[in-house]
Amino acid sequence: MYDIDKVRADFPILSREVNGRPLVYLDNGASAQKPRAVIEAITRAYSMEYSNVHRGLHTLSTIATENYEAVRGKIARFLHVADEREIVFTTGTTEGINLVSYAWAAPRFEPGDEIVLSVAEHHANIVPWHFLRERQGAVLKWIAPDATGDIDPQAVIDAIGPRTKLVAITQMSNVTGTVVDVAAIARAARERGVAVLVDGSQAAVHMPVDVDAIGADFYAITGHKLYGPSGSGAIHIRAERMREMRPFMGGGDMIREVTRDGVGYNDPPMKFEAGTPGIVNQIGLGAALDYMMALGMTDIAAHEHDLRDYARARLDGLNWLQVQGQSAGKGAIFSFTMEGAHAHDLSTILDKRGVAIRAGHHCAQPLMEHFGVSATARASFGLYNTRAEVDALIDALELAHDLFG
Ligand code: PLP
């Protein structure tokens, strides 16, 4: 049984007030709050167990290395990846996708080679491909959402042509919560010998994810949305793709030996992890994943689906609000606009009531262009939110409507 009161008590920040009101934190799509288990893991790592990792022989270095490396296995379990050596630590999705762009794509893209991607991508899954377009003549092929905000997997598959080398696609939009059937896309792409990168930044937070079953080549996650520290994250890379990849950054840890005449590289995944890593950030991420796995991803998803359905019904009741993207199976992420009020004004008014939402383009400008808006307001729910907080959102929106409508 999902005990929401107990869950909320695990997050110290949720008991604070903002502008004299209880905090209603609905900006989880941007970054999530941290449970005590994560805060304590970070404190313990720095106060009692800190040292650099991998090369030390003393006790603290051994402990720090064990704690840090154990996170690789936790990420593999969380994502249902059989071989933890396919997990590369990153600072987040942005670094993961850039790693793929520089280390896998750049050496094999010829002018005219194509990347198929959706209009709903976050800039982190667009700009690294624009680099390939600018520098190597890659062609970006865009798939737009349909009227409900869904991305039709068949439209993505149909866009794959003889020059397509990569499909880069999100599993859940950070703007609309739309869920994409990435397994169907990966299956069809692989049959055609085309690689698939999945941006799992949002999906992995809100639903059980089985990366091996999806069968993509690359699956990126970012720790700060998963209730872990910012600057933590990982990318799953299938072993055969790892073998095709040249190193991205050079430095310590990623080498086997260095001479004046040459360099021999470490085995993957360390081949792609140059320099002193975000040791404690990753340890904090491990604690966050332990926390989520203890709650159970199926139960977290069920709780959030209840919030989604409740929020959808209540938002639908506001006929002066336009909600962008209302596909049935979406996550609990709602983007909306109100005539007469800029999204920034909405966010400011709601903040006065202690309700934290985000306003802007959400790093998804092609999607804003598709909707014909420059910005939206976005309420995004997490595992600790409640129906009462949906009500607080609606009350605050009604206040804003009285002021601007
Ligand atoms: N992709 C999606 C769908 C996101 O929501 C985000 C975060 O906003 C990112 C990528 C980028 O993640 P990060 O900035 O943590 O690397």
pTM over 0.85: yes
Residue 405 has pLDDT above 80, yes or no: no
Residue-level pLDDT at 198:
98
Residue 131 has pLDDT above 90, yes or no: yes
> Is there a single domain that holds both residue 220 and residue 267?
yes
What is the chain's Cα-based Rg?
Answer: 22
Residue 55 has pLDDT above 90, yes or no: no
> Is there a single domain that holds both residue 125 and residue 23?
no
Residue-level pLDDT at 222:
98
Instruction: Indicate whether 202 belongs to any domain.
Output: yes
Residue-level pLDDT at 239:
97
> Is there a single domain that holds both residue 281 and residue 234?
yes
- Give the residue from 294, 329, 355 where a domain finishes: 294
> Is there a single domain that holds both residue 187 and residue 71?
yes
Residue 56 has pLDDT above 90, yes or no: no
Burial of 271 (0-12, 13-18, 19+ CB in 10 A): buried
Q: What percent of the chain has pLDDT over 90?
A: 98
98 within ligand 1 shell (Cβ under 6 A): no
> Is there a single domain that holds both residue 239 and residue 379?
no
| Residues 254-293 pLDDT 10s | 999 999 999 999 999 999 999 999 999 999 999 999 999 9
* Ligand 1 atom nearest residue 223's Cα: 15
Average pLDDT, the chain: 97
Distance (Å) from CA 364 to ligand 1 centroid: 10
Domain count, the chain: 2
Residue-level pLDDT at 1:
85
Instruction: Indicate whether 33 belongs to any domain.
Output: no
For the stretch 187-190, contacts whose Cβ atoms lie closer than 8 Å and that sit 24 or more positions apart, written own/partner, are 187/215, 188/153, 188/157, 188/160, 189/157, 189/160, 190/215
Residue-level pLDDT at 189:
98
| Residues 370-380 pLDDT 10s | 999 999 999 99
> Is there a single domain that holds both residue 219 and residue 364?
no
Distance (Å) from CA 370 to ligand 1 centroid: 20
Which residues form the domain of 362? 4-28+296-404
Structure-block tokens of residue 306: 């209840």
| Residues 152-183 pLDDT 10s | 999 999 999 999 999 999 999 999 999 999 99
CA distance 231 to 218: 19
122 within ligand 1 shell (Cβ under 6 A): yes
Which of 201, 227, 361, 376 most suits a substitution to test ligand 1, by most atoms within 8 Å of the C-beta?
A: 201
Instruction: Name the pLDDT band for 404 (thresholds 50, 70, 90).
Output: confident
CATH number at residue 140: 3.40.640.10
> Is there a single domain that holds both residue 241 and residue 110?
yes
Instruction: Name the pLDDT band for 369 (thresholds 50, 70, 90).
Output: very high
Residue 107 has pLDDT above 90, yes or no: yes
Instruction: Name the pLDDT band for 144 (thresholds 50, 70, 90).
Output: very high
Which of 129, 151, 182, 202 most suits a substitution to test ligand 1, by most atoms within 8 Å of the C-beta?
A: 202
Instruction: Name the pLDDT band for 395 (thresholds 50, 70, 90).
Output: very high
Contacts of 105 (CB under 8 A, 6+ apart): 115, 129, 132, 138, 165, 166
Q: What is the mean pLDDT of residues 33-44?
A: 98
> Is there a single domain that holds both residue 98 and residue 228?
yes
Instruction: Indicate whether 375 belongs to any domain.
Output: yes
> Is there a single domain that holds both residue 256 and residue 389?
no
| Residues 59-78 pLDDT 10s | 999 999 999 999 999 999 99
Instruction: Indicate whether 93 belongs to any domain.
Output: yes
| Residues 298-318 pLDDT 10s | 999 999 999 999 999 999 999
171 within ligand 1 shell (Cβ under 6 A): no
Q: What is the mean pLDDT of residues 314-327?
A: 95
- Give the residue from 268, 294, 320 where a domain finishes: 294
Point out the residues that are catalytic: 363
Distance (Å) from CA 36 to ligand 1 centroid: 24
Instruction: Indicate whether 34 belongs to any domain.
Output: no
CATH number at residue 300: 3.90.1150.10
124 within ligand 1 shell (Cβ under 6 A): yes
> Is there a single domain that holds both residue 211 and residue 288?
yes
Instruction: Name the pLDDT band for 350 (thresholds 50, 70, 90).
Output: very high
